[in-house]
Every structure is written in structure tokens, then in C-alpha cells.
Amino acid sequence: MAAVKTHVRTTLNGEATEYLCEPNQSLLEVLRDVLFLTGTKEGCNDGNCGACTVNMDGRIVDSCLVLGVEAEGSDILTIEGVATPEGLHPIQQAFLENAALQCGICTPGFIVASKALLEKEPNPSEARVRHWLAGNLCRCTGYDKIVKAVVDAANTMGGKK
Amino acid sequence: MTTVDKKKYKVIGTSPIRHDGADKVTGRAVYGIDYHMPGMLWGKILRSPHAHAKIKSIDASKALALPGVHAVVTGKDMAVAADIEVEAGETSLNYMHLSDNVMARDKALYKGHAVAAVAADTQHIAEEALALIDVDYEVLTPVLNGREGMKADVPLIHPDQTTKVMAFRFDPGTDTGEKSNVAGRSQLKLGDIDAGFKEADFIVEREFTTSWVHQGYIEAQNATAHWNNDDNITVWNSSQGTFNQRQLMAEILKHPVSQIKMVPLEIGGGFGGKIPVYLEVPAAMLSKKTGHPVKMTMTRTEVFEGTGPASAAQMKAKVGATKDGRITAAYAELVFEAGAFPGSAVGAGAQGMFTAYNIENILIDGYDVVVNKPKSAAYRSPGTPQACFPAEAVIDELAELVGMDPLDFRIKNAAKEGDRRADGVQHPEMGNLECMEALKASDHYKSDLGGPNRGRGVASGYWGNAGMPASCSIAINADGTVSLAEGSPDIGGSRTSIAMMCAEAFGIAAEDVHPSIKDTDSIGYNGLTAGSSTTLRNGWAVFEVTNQAIELIKARAARLWETEPENVDFADGVFFSKAEKELKLTFKEMAGKLMETGGPISVAASVAPRGAGPSFTTHMVDVEVDPETGKVDILRYTAAQDVGTMIHHDYVEGQVQGGTAQGIGWALNEEYFYDDKGQMLNSSYLDYRVPTMLDLPMLDTILVEHPNPDHPFGVRGVAEISVVPPLGALANAIYAAVGVRMRDLPMAPHKIVKALQEKNGKTK
Amino acid sequence: MRPIEYVAAKTVQEAVKSLAEKGDAARPLAGGTDIIVQLRGGRRQLDRLVDMKAIPELNELTYNASSGLRIGAAVPCYRVYGDAAVASAYPGLIDAASLIGGIQIQGRGSIGGNLCNAAPSGDTIPALIAHSAVAEIAGPGGNREVPVEDFCTAPGRTVLQSGEILVAIRVPAPAAHFGACYIRFIPRNEMDIAVVGVGASMVLDGNKVTACRIALASVAPIPVYATAAGAALVGKEATEENINAASEAAQAAATPISDMRGTAEYRTHLIGVLTRRALQSAIQRAKEA
Amino acid sequence: MATVWIPTPYRDLVGGVETVVVAGSTVRQITRNLDTAYPGFWERLVDDETDRIRPGIAVVINGVVIGTALYEPVGENDEVHYLPAIAGGQS
């Protein structure tokens, strides 16, 4: 039975965005099925795979564990907001150049999570990258090339400073 | 590294950015789970809470009365499919069983078996409706273990099933007439093992067990179906084979194959698990009942409980060797749990088990046993990781008895071209020994372990690789680019590897080829994206279409140069006149002249390739074991694999690394944990522990390029075999570190501690 | 997930009232990393969620070297371990807060929520017990305080009565030469549930133990405060022999079961190993403090 | 004449031997002749309705897997195997 919907106001990928949702809808569900931003993926829907990672008010979160109604007033970045009209983000470019994706379903979550890391810590060690991204599962790559891509992106971004 | 002289290529062997890359790093790529249609309903499956139960009745009236609910289907709505065996990777299914697996009719055969499906306005309403469907079950005693299931006094899961002696998976076989949970019995025999074991100075015989494991693809099964008013059905999903699924749909729905269109969306991993159909069938049936498109997706728990994981196995292995280290005979008994319906990968396991070695006397008995667990499906080198685990562990023990380095022992016994496999086939040209020798020459082999409780293990593996038909078509654009249509779903970058072979043939850049994956109405037949065959067989198809196109363009050049086509040749991307050297035009220049010389050119071709070329590999791993907690840390890993000619270097390496990581998970932590009622207790990524980034080191590779002589570009399947050796390699490394032989997977910390306590108790 | 009502409370009084109206059919929502999973999986059925994140008091993190630490019940883990002064004063708590879930979970999940979820495996609970933390509770009948070791009553159940909420967790200022540690064993290196977890704290006078608290996770229906194990060390030198004796006492305090995460025998074995390691680390930290 | 390797479970049809020498210049002829000499093989290996090798069986000639094989030529000294086909499950 359709419950009364709540009007939620957010900033989504830099733009004021309003939506209607029911309290039992997750932010992930809102992004995918209400706003049709399907770049944020569902892998487990219980906070154990990181495929649905988005940045919410400066922190990465699993959007499956956030209710759509909880996002009122939040500033949210999804994978759709990472590239600019000028081009791909250096992390996106590094993922391509390092062949850091195979099927690609986990890739948006990894990129959003990596971006948050590199904005906070521009030169993470391999161990730090592995620790930061341990909440993101990839079943295709064995992670090797993802780690290399993130370190590579850190070097590129640092080089631009 | 390259050990064999190979052709010089311009595009092949490089690592261009994949054509679908920008879409996949920006979130724009549309996967099966992302598909959306206006007016679409959401479907959900009601699943059996019992591992074995009779379905006495189903009452959906309360569910149908819930506002927002449109329709319910149950087993009673299913057509009766034919009792015919059908291809499903290394595992097999028969249409009738497949239909019963998609939706139970009279009996639920495992926890999670689908018993009804509902379509509603939203996912949440559909979920609520499931709780309102009353199913009256008569709960039966489940059979939960292969060896137990073989016994005479256990319940029969399929009361009319009799054991068949079979040579192949789909063999009608010799019916023994014995009613049993053993669906099939098979055997591979080469030489005389009694004579072989007599020759041996050392014999090691051990028993092994492995648990059910899941492919663990991150994108859950999904399907959106629309049954149109003209009875044409369209399905949008992520699958490993649109044409195969179209056939399965036709048989299950009793619907003409020509009226089913399968549209491949991007696929978030498969590893064999997305070969069968599951949700596609109820989604289509619900669409027919409601007149709306119906979308269905599985939850992660449904993926674990309701799809096709890889069989658990109970195995014996016995191998003998002479004092000087020659293996004289090998025997094995493989009992594979097929799941609720017959058809495990036990046959492939038997074929792969001892195949990296030259052994003249082999006997392998295989048993395919039904149990009350999900029907097994293919998983990367199906059957072979299970079977190679005992082989590699016993061979390691033998090496120790003989007093040889485990890698030297393998090198001494390595199978070479011309040696016979257990099934009698002579090995073709391949790089088995080269992999072992490359590892021996590696820095890793020469390095010190550098501390206590550390150990190094090696293991080898074999996988046969598949062929299967392929079709593709090209259209040459006036600007010298090429549009390439393929029909094999691309899971790991195959559209780029196929485009690269096309680019190589025409002498253009990989970026000048624009590949796309077509639906079943838009391209010729393609086999499964499976068996490590996609790049191989589409390479053949590309070879065909590019050759045909080159001949057509030669004729156009001949027209330009007012000569005969046989006077025009093509090399290194340039068409030239044999007679007048100054007459030459590049492929791109010719592309611009097609319109004026007879019109555009497009070519399609279908191929049924032969000579897939087998894969061989040897892995080496260093571990450190915490003897107090049993925790195993992987310090260093190197996989040496014969990859044939590498088309896309980085994606070949990625396949090797990815399979290795899955094998590590299989070895150390992954398992279906069942209670005594057949309930899976760990059906989430929290407790089904696939490796995280913190659990793995960098995965080093040694890519041995021994081109496949039977392929125009030397391609050999590369994608699967790397999952095979980690099981044995890690068991051997743990032994080297702390002195206990682990023979029960996963080698979980608590088992290692127990083994250490037993060992220390004994030595006290 | 079934339809549910969502209320974002602005004050403690509002939250208490909103919860009391629905009794057992309402729960507070902080980070949501446990309760959303439970609701979605059908393991809890509620009519109302009352969001605590807009209540100022529940979002405050205050630390003072003399009066100690007060963690608002909705403060996410990352804020706790991200505060350098807190991190240096409460090492055991920081150990626990920085290993729950992954970075995404820590960005949302709170220590208060971990306590109220009352899982036997809750990582922060033994650490809080080791740090002598006290739960500040507000309810329809007024405010009260409960030591953390008395907070959990059964798996998923706490002392909180209908309408009561956890407002904050108060952790006393550490004494001189105080050290603490939380370690757990998991088969993977991250993203896992403790097979066994041990929190230990220690005050040293030279090499002599003047106070010691040991608490255990995943070895009983609720987190276990192993008083006898801590007492076994008090007044004694921090020697290997005495540490081992305390570890054995910790083993005796547990009633582990066999489940998919480990057998009872293995858990008992691990309590011994991890208690010893936690004590050694706490001693090291106490010496450095 | 070609040498045919008999799948182990069928060896009782041929008196227990590993290989049999059979005349024929295509896989189809060889399978027919094998069945004539040792009845039972045709039914097991060929689907009469579709006139194709049964699904899931790979014919291997001199170590090379032939996908669609019934009408494949076989040479004088060739070795023929009937094996389970491989399909697998790559990523």
C-alpha cells in the first residue's frame, strides 16, 4: 500500500534536487528507481559490498543503508557527478588506463570511494588504499589493478598541483 | 615473457582503453539491473523455507487481494518441458529439470527453491504480497551430503531416478535400474593402474572434501520481460549467452524460438553462474498475465540460495611414484553433489584432475549425486578446482617422500606434447613445462621466506577450454573506421579484444573499430560467453569477415587501378598493385573510395571453430600462518600461465589475477554453511567471505605466450584456469609453514588450529 | 521493507514521546547500519523509526582531560577516532571504533547504536566496558545511568524500557599510566564479525597492576564483563605468568557456542590467545602513557 | 583405417579394449561402422532426429576438438575420440 510520500530536498551532484519518497525506500532505491541515476549499483543491499557507495556531506556511505528521507538537506555526490563537461576525473582515467575494471559493476563504488580518499589523503600508501577500499568488493580483478589505478591517480592529481 | 617466436603485431598485445570504458567509469553503462521501462511492474519470487518438502497446496488469494498486486504464477502455470538434456556449461540440465528448477511443481527440493512469483506496482508491495501467499508444505527429510546420499537407506529425492553409467554428461547411458540418488556414474581409464602402483616405491592415498562455493558476481540475477500482444517475447537481462537462453526459454515456455528476443545488457559478472535461466521465465509469464513489462531482480540472499553455485565434493586420491620421482599410477574417486537435479561438473573434474602430468596409468571414478541443495551451475573451470585440489596435495606429499623439490617433481612429470591424457587424447602443442620452468627461474622462487611460520606452496592446473560457434558482422565506414557487431555478451573486456583483432587485420587502430553487442534478432548465432572461448571464437569470426572484406576491397582497388582483383594485394594495412608499386592506398583511403567504386561494404560471417587449445598453469604462493589463531596471510603470489597470443595484455593479466583471487577465497574462507535441516546460515557477503582488498597482496603473473597453432591469431583461452591451482598451492604452503596437511576446504582458521593441536598432541 | 513511519525528532523530549507512543513498535534510528538491514531482512518489524540525528545533544562529542569523554549516542565512529585528543586518551575504544565494518559503515554507524543493537559480537561494547563507560539514558520517567557492562540483557535486548533512549556514553578520564586495547579475531582482515573480541584496560604502578578490566565479545549471549579475569591481575606484577592466569580466567568466564563463525572449542582457545595479546598491548600502552 | 578411442564406460561393448580400428572417411561413417561392429554406439553418440552428434559430446580428431563434427572428414591414420564437451564459466 502506497504510504504518504515525503518531500525531500537535497543537493545532488551540485544541483538542487527534490524528490518524493516513502520512508521504507533507501537512498539507493531513490537514486536508481526514482531519479533514474543507475550508476550507483546495488550489490548486496546490506552494507557489505560497497557497490552503492556515494559521498554524503563529505563522507562515503553505503546508500543502501541510508533512507531516502534521511537525506533531507544533504549534499550528495554519486558517480554521475564525478566527471565534468571538460572530461573524466583523473581517477576515472586511471581506472581505464590501468584496466582496473572487468565487468565494471563495482567500478562506480570504487571510484566514489577512492575520490574521497584522495581528497583527504593525496598520497596514500598501498596499505592505506587497501584499508580504505576494503568495504568495496570486486569479484573480477583480484584488486591488483584497482590498487595500481588509485595510486596512479594520486600521482597524477598530485602532479597537477 | 615469450618463449616461442611469434608474429609481429601492431595492435595485438597492446592495452588500449576499452571501448565501453567511459560508460563504465561514469555510471552510464546500462546493466541488467539498471533496465527500466515505462509501465513496468516489479516481480518477486516466493521461495521454499524447507530443503525438502511436498507442496500440498498454494493459496494466493490474499496476495491477489492486496492493492497494487497484479498477478501470481506458480508451478501449476508452467508448461511441461521435454525430458531432454541441454547444455549448461560443464554442468548439465534437462529441460524438464530446468523448468522444475525455475519453478517447483510438486516438491521443493532445496531451501530457496522458487514456488511462486508475484507482480505488483512496486518492489515493496510485491514483497508484502509474498508473505500473504499460503503454501501448505509436508516437510520431508533432506539429503545433504553426496556420500550420505549414495547410501541405500536414505530418502530418494527423485523417487523414480535410477543410476546411469555414463560417458558424457548428456549420455542416455546404460541404465542400471537401481533406484538411487546417484544419477550418474562415469569412469576414465588409461593403462593399468594395478601394474602402475606395483612399479611405485611410494604411494600416497588420502581423502578430501570441499564445500559449496558461489561465483559471487556482484550484480544479482535479473530480468525484465515483455510478452507483447502479438505473442512476441522480449527479455532484457544480463546473461552469458543470449542464444542459449533463448532456446531454454522456448523449451520451458513451449513458445516458438523465433518469437523470443533476448537483449543482452551489460553484465556485472557471471563466472558460469549466468548461463542458466531463472527469473526470465516467471518474468515472462507474469508479463503475459498482466500485459505489462515485468522486472525482477534477486536479493543477495536469493542469489546464494536460489541460483547455481559450484558443487561440494568428497574425494579420494591415490598416486604412486618411483624412488627417482616418476609418477607411475594415479587413482581417484570423485563424488560431486549435483544439487537438486542431476548434472554436476564431475566429468570435467575427472578430465582435468591429473592432466598437467604425464601418467601412463590412470583410473578415475566419478559419481553425480543429487542432494537437497541448489542445482549446481558452472563456475570458472567447472569441476576442476575441486578435483585438482586432491591431486596437487597428494603429489606434494609424494615429492616430499621422494625427496624432491615440489616444483622439480612437477617438472619431471610434466605432460608434454604427444603425451596422453586420462581420456586417451594426445596433448597438442602447449606451454605446460614452460610455465613450471618460468616459475623456477623467477625471483619469487629464488627469494627467502624471511621468517618463522612461513611456507611456500606450488600447484599446477589444467583446463581444456571451449570452442563454440560465433558470428559477427562489420560495416566499413567512409572515414576508415569499422562498425563491428558481436553477439557474445562481454563480461571482462572481450568486445575490445575482438575489436583489436579486427583492427589488426585491417591495419587500423583499435579505437577505429566500434564494437557493439547485439540482441538475438540482430546477429547470427553465438555460443556462450563461457569456456574461455569468447575471444578465441570471435577471433575466428573476425578473421573470416576481415578476410572477406579485404577481398571485396581488392576488387574495388582493381576497379580504381583498372586492373584485375588478383593483381591487387594487401599487407600491413595497405592495398597495392602487384605490378605497379606506386599504386597503393591504405585501408582508410580505400574506405573513402567505396561509395564511388560500387557502394558500401559490410560483411557477416558465422564460424564453428576447432582447436580451442588447452590451458596450463602453475602457481606459487608464500604464506604466514599464525599458529595461535590459524590465520593465514598471503605474503606473495605468482601465477605462471600459458596464455597463447595475448590480444589485450592487461585484460589477459586481469583474468589471471581475478581467477587467482577467487581460488584463494575458495581455499581459505568461502563455503555454504548449512545446518542439519539444509538451511544455509551465511547467505550474505558478511558471512560468505569473498576476499576483500585487504586480504590479498599484489598478484604477480608470468604470462607465457605459447601461441595456439590452430588459431589465426594464436589465441588460447585464458579466463578460467587461474581459479584451479590456489586450492592446492595454499594447502601445500600451509603445510610448509606449520606442518599440517589441510584436506577439508575451506582451510578456515579454526580447522588449522585444530590440526595443529592434534599434531602437537601426537608428538608430545 | 514494509511501510514504516519516519519521525525526525528535534529534542530528547520529542524523541522519548514519539517512541513511547508506539512502544515496542518503534525504535530510534541513528546511523541505521544495523536497523535498516534488520528491517529489510524481516528480522525486526516496526511501525515507526525515530531519527536521532537532528537532536543536538546526541550529536555532541566532548572531551576534557579532567572530566573525561562524552559521546552523543548518534555520533558516528569516524568522528570519535578522527579526534586526536580522544584517540590518544581512549586507545581501546579507538581500536574498536576504527574496525567496525568498513570506511562507509564508520561514516554512518555510531558507538551508541552499536551498544543499543546489543549484538554479542558488538565490537565497541567490550572496549567501552574496559574503559568503565556509563550509559546516560533519558525516558518518560526521567534520566538514569547504567554502567555499560549492565546495559545488554540478551541478544538484541537492552535495559532500555519503552520510550527510553540512550542519550550519550560517558567515559571517565583515564588515570595516569592507563592503557587499553581491543582486539578481535576475524577470518578476513576487514568487513567481518568478531569470532572472539577482547577489550582490556590496565593501570600500572611501575610494573604492578593497580586496576584491570577485561570484557569479551562473541562468547556468550551478551558481551561478557570478565571481572574475575581482571581481578586476577590486580595487585600483581604484569608478568607473562600472571597474564596467562588472567587469560585462563577469561576463558572460564565465557560460555561460547559453535556456529558458522567458529566452534565453541576454538572460541575458548581464542579467548586465551586474544586476552593475552590484548593485555600485553594494554600494558605496553600503559607504560607509554 | 582410423583408431577410435572408446570412452571407458562403453568399453564393455568392445570387450574391454581401449581402442578399436574402424573404417570410414567421415565421423558419421566411422560411427556407423563402429555401431555395426559393436551395436549401441550410434544411439549413444548421435541424435537421429537432428542427425547431429548429441549435445555435450565433443569429437576430437588428432587432439583437435571439432565443434560440429558428424560430417567431418577423417584420414587414414587419424585418432578419433568422443569426449565430454567443455563449455565452462569465465568471468
pLDDT of residue D64: 83
Shared domain for C34 and C78, answered yes or no, is no
What Å distances lie between residue C64 and B151, B193, C171, CA to CA?
70, 78, 11
Residue C223 sits in the same domain as residue C280: yes
Q: Are residues B554 and B619 in the same domain?
A: no
**Closest Cα in chain A to D90:** A140
Q: Are A85 and A91 in contact (CB under 8 A)?
A: no
Q: Let me know: does B641 contact B704? Beta carbons within 8 Å.
A: yes
**Distances from the Cα of C202 to the Cα of C153, C174, C207, C208, D74, angstroms:** 26, 10, 11, 10, 83
pTM beyond 0.95: yes
Whether residue B35 contacts residue B42, with contact meaning beta carbons closer than 8 Å, is answered with no
**Strand-strand pairing, B470-476 and B482-486:** antiparallel
Contacting residues of D for A103, CB less than 8 Å apart: 91
User: What is the residue type of B26?
Assistant: T
Give the domains, in start order, of chain A with CATH numbers: 6-80 (3.10.20.30), 90-160 (1.10.150.120)
Residue C263 contacts B where some CB pair is shorter than 8 Å: yes
Q: Show residues of chain D in contact with A141, CB under 8 Å.
A: none
pLDDT digits (tens, 9 = 90+) for D13-69: 899 999 999 999 999 999 999 999 999 999 889 988 888 888 778 888 988 888 667
Tell me which chain A residue has its CA closest to the CA of residue C77. Answer: A59
Q: Are chains C and A in contact at 3+ CB pairs closer than 8 Å?
A: yes
For B177, half-sphere exposure in the C-beta direction (CA atoms, 13 angstrom radius) is: 0
Per the DSSP assignment, residues forming a β-bridge with B333 are B316, B365
Asked if D68 is an interface residue toward chain A (Cβ–Cβ < 8 A), one would say no
Give, to the nearest 10 degrees, the angle between helix B725-738 and helix B749-763.
40
Q: Which of D43, D55, D86 sits opposite B466 (nearest CB)?
A: D86
Q: Convert the pLDDT of each residue in B501-528 to its tens digit.
A: 999 999 999 999 999 999 999 999 999 9
Of C135, C153, C171, which one is at a domain's C-terminal end? C171
Please, which pLDDT band fits residue C221 given cuts at 50, 70 and 90?
very high
Instruction: Identify whether residues B633 and B567 lie together within a single domain.
Output: no
Closest CB from B271, B685, B699 relative to A49? B685
For residue C103, list chain A residues with Cβ-Cβ distance below 8 A. Answer: 60, 113, 132-135
Is any Cβ of chain B less than 8 angstroms from the Cβ of D41?
Answer: no
Active site residues of B: 720
pLDDT the model gives residue D53: 85
Residue D91 confidence (pLDDT)? 35
Strand partners, A10: A17
**Which amino acid belongs to residue B415?**
A
**Residue at grid coordinates 582496473:** A100
Q: How confident is the model at residue B604 (pLDDT cuts 50, 70, 90)?
A: very high
Kindly give the residue spans of alpha helices, DSSP state H, lying in B567-648.
587-591
Q: How do beta strands B41-47 and B294-297 pair?
A: parallel
C166 and C61 co-located in one domain: yes
User: Closest chain D residue to A102 measured between Cα atoms?
Assistant: D91
Closest chain B residue by Cα to residue A85: B26
In a domain, B443, yes or no: yes
Give the span between the Cα atoms of D52 and B469, in whole angstroms.
15
Alpha helices of chain C — where are they, by DSSP H?
A: 12-22, 35-40, 77-81, 84-89, 91-97, 103-106, 111-117, 124-130, 227-231, 240-253, 264-288
**DSSP assignments along A110-142, one per residue:** HHHHHHHHHHH-SS--HHHHHHHTTTS--SSS-
Q: Chains meeting B at 3+ CB pairs closer than 8 A?
A: A, C, D
Query: Chain C closest CA to B631's CA: distance in Å?
Result: 7
Same domain, B627 and B721: yes
Chosen for mutation from C33, C38, C103, C192 (greatest number of chain B CBs closer than 10 Å) is C192
pLDDT at B30: 98
Q: Do B695 and C188 touch (CB under 8 A)?
A: yes
Task: Please classify residue C227 by burial: count the beta carbons closer than 10 Å to its beta carbon, then call 0-12 exposed, 13-18 middle and 19+ buried.
Answer: middle
Q: Give how far B468 is from chain D: nearest CA, Å.
A: 6
For range B719-732, the mean pLDDT: 98
How many domains would you assign to chain C? 3
- Within this chain, do residues C43 and C64 fall inside the same structural domain, yes or no? no
CATH code of the domain containing C97: 3.30.465.10
pLDDT in tens, C95-127: 999 999 999 999 999 999 999 999 999 999 999
Dist CA B497 CA B492 (whole Å):
10
The residue type of B503 is A
Cell numbers of B319, please? 598416486
Q: Which of C1, C185, C266 sits opposite B124 (nearest CB)?
A: C1
Backbone angles phi, psi at B554, to 5 degrees: -55, -40
Strands of the sheet with A15-21, listed across from one edge: A15-21, A6-12, A75-77, A53-56, A59-62
Question: Within B447-525, where are the H helices?
Answer: 494-506
Question: Quick one: DSSP state of residue B31?
Answer: B
Chains in contact with D, where contact requires at least 3 CB pairs less than 8 Å apart:
A, B
Determine the pLDDT at residue A159. 57
Q: Do B25 and A95 touch (CB under 8 A)?
A: yes
pLDDT score of B613? 87
B720 and B671, same domain (yes or no): yes
State which amino acid sits at residue B225.
Answer: A
Residues of C in contact with A1 (CB under 8 A): 3
Residue C155, Cα to own-chain centre: how many angstroms? Answer: 14
What CA–CA distance (Å, rounded) separates B296 from B224? 6
Q: Read off the pLDDT band of B466 (50, 70, 90).
A: confident
* Secondary structure letter of residue A41 according to DSSP: P
Residue-wise pLDDT for B16-43, tens only, equals: 999 999 999 999 999 999 999 999 999 9
Domain holding B478: CATH number?
Answer: 3.30.365.10
CB contact under 8 A, A47 and C105: yes
Residues 28-57 of chain A whose Cβ lies under 8 A from any Cβ of chain B: 29, 32-33, 36-46, 48-49, 51
Q: What's the pLDDT band for D89 if we cut at 50, 70, 90?
A: very low
Q: Is C116 found in the same domain as C64?
A: yes
Is C196's Cβ below 8 Å from some Cβ in B? no
Phi-psi region of C279 (alpha: psi -120 to 50; beta: other; left: phi over 0): alpha
State how far the alpha carbon of C265 is from the alpha carbons of B322, B669, B756, in Å: 42, 19, 14
Q: State the residue range of the domain holding C156.
A: 56-171
Is D36 in the B-facing interface, judged by CB distances under 8 Å? no
Q: What is the pLDDT of residues B654-673, one digit of tens each?
A: 999 999 999 999 999 999 99
Nearest-by-CA chain B residue for C101? B686
Statement to judge: residues B553 and B585 lie in one domain: yes
- Cα→Cα distances B237→B36, B470, C77, Å: 11, 20, 39
Domains of chain D in sequence order:
2-84 (3.10.20.30)
Domain final residue pick, C112, C146, C171: C171
Question: Counting one residue from A and one from C, how many pairs have CB atoms under 8 Å apart?
Answer: 86
Residue B712's contacts (CB-CB under 8 Å, 6 or more residues apart) are: B539, B540, B543
| β-strand partners of A87 | A84
Residue B534, classed as helix, strand or coil, is helix
In a 10 Å sphere around its CB, with 0-12 CB exposed, 13-18 middle and 19+ buried, how is residue D81 labelled? buried
Q: Do chains D and C touch (3 or more CB pairs under 8 A)?
A: no
Q: What is the mean pLDDT of chain B?
A: 95
pLDDT of residue D56: 75
Number of separate helices (H) and strands (E) present in chain C? 11, 14
Q: Which positions in chain A touch C51 (Cβ < 8 Å)?
A: 70
- Residue at which a domain ends, from B557, B576, B607: B607
Report the residue from B165, B467, B491 with minimal CB separation from D65.
B467
Backbone angles phi, psi at B420, to 5 degrees: -95, 140
**Least Cα separation, residue A100 to chain C (angstroms):** 21
The C-alpha cell of B338 is what?
Answer: 549435483
- What does the alpha-carbon distance between residue B421 and residue B725 come to, in Å, rounded to a whole number? 18
CA distance D91 to chain A (A): 7
C-alpha triplet B578, B580, B586: angle, nearest 5°: 70
pLDDT, residue B79, reads 84
- Whether chain B has a CB inside 8 Å of the CB on D56: the answer is yes
DSSP character at residue B191: S
Question: Is B242 in contact with B520 (CB distance < 8 Å)?
Answer: yes
Residue type, B702: I
End of a domain among B568, B588, B607?
A: B607
Average pLDDT for residues C65-79, to the nearest whole number? 97
Is B465's CB within 8 Å of D88's CB?
Answer: yes
D83 vs B contacts (CB less than 8 Å): 168, 351, 423, 425
Chain A within 8 Å of D8 (Cβ-Cβ)?
Answer: no
Nearest CA in chain D to A138: D91
**B617 and B759 part of one domain:** yes
Q: Which of C3, C4, C37 sits opposite A46 (nearest CB)?
A: C37
What are the angstrom distances between the C-alpha of B360 and each of B104, B421, B691, C248?
Answer: 46, 8, 38, 56
Structural domain range at position B587: 467-607
Domain identity same for B472 and B584: yes
| pLDDT tops 90 at residue B611 | no
In this complex, whether B and A touch, counting 3 or more CB pairs under 8 angstroms, is yes
For β-strands B182-190 and B162-165, DSSP reports them as parallel
pLDDT tens sequence across A85-113: 999 999 999 999 999 999 999 999 999 99
Number of Cβ pairs closer than 8 Å across A and B?
188
Assess if residue B314 is contained within a domain. no
The amino acid sitting at A46 is D
Interchain pair A103, B299: CB under 8 A: no
Section B209-233 average pLDDT: 98
**CA–CA gap between residue C121 and residue B632 (Å, rounded):** 22
Last residue of a domain, one of B561, B579, B607: B607
Distance, CA of A75 to CA of B671 (rounded, Å): 40
Residues of A in contact with D91 (CB under 8 A): 102-103, 139-140
HEC string of B207-259 equals EEEECCECCCCCCCCEEEEEECCCCCEEEEECCCCHHHHHHHHHHHHCCCHHH
Closest Cβ–Cβ partner in D8, D79, D89 for B89: D89
Judge if C33 and C109 occupy the same domain. Answer: no
Please work out, in degrees rounded to the nearest 5, the angle formed at the alpha carbon of residue C211 by the alpha carbons of C205 and C214: 135
Chains D and B touch (3+ CB pairs under 8 A): yes
B669: chain C residues, CB-CB within 8 Å: 187-188
Given the DSSP bridges, would you call strands B584-586 and B53-59 parallel, antiparallel or unpaired?
A: unpaired
Element (H, E) at A94: helix A90-97
- Residue B335 maps to a domain: no
Give the number of B-C residue pairs with CB atoms closer than 8 Å.
56
Chain B residues inside the 8 Å CB shell of D8: 167, 186-189
- B428 preceded by cis ω (within 30°)? no
Structural domain contains residue B64: no
Q: What is the CATH number of the domain that holds C244?
A: 3.30.390.50
Which of B382, B387, B234 minimizes the C-alpha distance to B310? B382
pLDDT band at B465 (very low <50, low <70, confident <90, very high): confident
| Percent residues over pLDDT 70 in chain B | 97
Q: Is there a single domain that holds both residue C70 and residue C22? A: no
| Residue A95 contacts B where some CB pair is shorter than 8 Å | yes
Task: Please judge whether D91 and B270 are an interchain contact, meaning their C-beta atoms are less than 8 angstroms apart.
Answer: yes
